[in-house]
Every structure is written in structure tokens, then in C-alpha cells.
Amino acid sequence: MRNFKELKIWQKGFQIAMNSFRITETFPTQEKFGLSLQIHKAGISIPSNVAEGSSRTSDKDYNRFIEISLGSCFELETQLLISRSLNYGNQGLIIETLGLLTEEEKMLTSFSETLSKES
């Protein structure tokens, strides 16, 4: 059994998820069930899919969850760019999180390539 909490892609994903909640704390009330909710879902999806994939016995199955996590990164990146353009949330934290997302996307892509070679 793999310990997903030891993976750097899970640790960084976890930090991104935490940041996503902090970013939306000051969003306008009308965004509570709109953009905020989408940001939360995408942020949570990143480390969750890394964790779920680590339970799979085949690299092919594991890789599918890594790909879903990567898709959630791109989704969250888009949502944060929209938030930044609308001047919603903590702009400094958005910029920091966008940087973390870029790193996470690169790490997930590399990990996915490794899993593809092994299967």
C-alpha cells in the first residue's frame, strides 16, 4: 500500500486546497454558491484524486486519477484567474496559489509520464 501523504504531489495539492478556501473567505456573498463553490471543489479534487489513485493496484488506473488531478489544477487555475480579474479575494494569496498550481501541474505531468512508462 502506498502512503499518499508522503508524496510531494499530495502535499502541494493539500496546500493548494487549503489556500482555495482562504482565498474565497472575502468573496462577495452572491458568489457563495457560484465561483467560490467551484474553487472549493477543484481545490479539494487535486489532493483527493492523488490519494484515491494511490490505492489502485495498476499504474494505468493510478495514472487516470493523476490525470483527473491535473485537470482539476487547470480548472482551478482558470477560476483563480477569473477571481483575480474580478478583484475577488486575497490577491496576494491568489498569485501565490497560481505559482503553486504551476509547480503542481509540472509535477503531476512528470509523475503521469513515469506511470505511463511503467504500465
CATH number at residue 77: 1.20.1440.60
pLDDT tens digits, residue range 28-84?
A: 999 888 999 999 999 999 999 999 999 999 999 999 999 999 999 999 999 999 999
| Residue 101 domain boundaries | 4-118
CA distance 1 to 23: 34
- Count H helices and E strands in the chain, helices first: 4, 0
Taking CA atoms, 28 is separated from 12, 42, 64, 82, in Å, by: 27, 19, 35, 14
Q: Report the first-to-last Cα separation within the chain, whole angstroms.
A: 18
Please tell me the total count of domains within the chain.
Answer: 1
pLDDT on residue 32: 83
pTM score of the predicted model:
0.95
